[in-house]
Amino acid sequence: MTLTSRLTALLLQPWAKPALWLICAIPMAALLAAAATDNLGANPAEKLVQETGEWALRWLWATLAITPLRTLLSQPALLRFRRPLGVTAFLYAAIHFLAYAWLDKGWVMDDIFKDIVKRNFILVGVLALLLMTPLALTSFNRAIRALGGRRWQMLHRLVYVVALLALLHFFWKKAGKNDFGEVSVYAGILAALLGWRFGRWIKLV
Ligand code: HEM
């Protein structure tokens, strides 16, 4: 048995998807445990918003990595992990927003709207989350059948816009502190993921 076929067999195990869901829940469980034991540092609210935002970005990048990895590793079976990763990215982004609305703004809608109008980075974050919502809502088999494969694919191309908006949100947040280290790493990975797709597209046309 070659390494490739061993990996395929592993990816096709019935427990592989539940195991991925479990892995996806670990950062959230760790954050909740840290919150419950008062281990989130001097500013727990800020830490919670920051961490959920960063995890949303990581899961989104992981979702975008599936297609290149499938091809580069000759593992079509990886496709079954794209949906859980995308839904996880949305759930972390939604929790990130809820943490902000609750811990930062105390659910005062007026303050949230003022923040959206006043701070560009918040506006871009809201746009990213709004665009992620139809993707998450149509990530189930019934929705895919109802939309038809082509229309579903067109709609899900929005994920590239979401990724660019999320990166801009992160960039603007960090630009205020002249701190570009981490943002550059995320930008570099996204450039590689989108560059790979662009390279394939050029070969096709
Ligand atoms: C309604 C939508 C959103 C709102 C209101 C929002 C709000 C915020 C706020 C207030 C912060 C600053 C936290 C702090 O340092 O005090 C932040 C940071 C961040 N957000 Fe969002 N966000 C939204 C959507 C998103 C989405 C969709 C993503 C990613 C997919 C995201 C990723 C991040 C990241 C990576 C950070 C930086 C964390 C850090 O400083 O390490 N956000 N967001």
| pTM metric for this prediction | 0.96
- pLDDT class of 203 with cuts at 50, 70, 90: confident
**Angle at CA of residue 115, ends 111 and 118, nearest 5°:** 135
Sign, Cα dihedral of 52, 20, 194, 139: negative
* Dihedral, 54, 181, 68, 169 alpha carbons, nearest 10: 50
Q: CB under 6 Å to ligand 1: residues?
A: 46, 49-50, 53-54, 56-57, 60, 93, 96-97, 100, 104, 122, 125-126, 128-129, 166, 169-170, 173
* Best of 124, 169, 179, 185 for a ligand 1 pocket test (most atoms within 8 Å of beta carbon): 169
Q: Give the count of alpha carbons within 13 A of 70, CB side only.
A: 14
- Per-residue model confidence as pLDDT tens digits over 131-156: 999 999 999 999 999 999 999 999 99
8: CA distance to ligand 1 center in Å?
A: 36
Domain boundaries, the chain: 3-204
Name the nearest CA neighbour of 90 among 55, 141, 51: 55
pLDDT, tens only, 150-198? 999 999 999 999 999 999 999 999 998 999 999 999 999 999 999 999 9
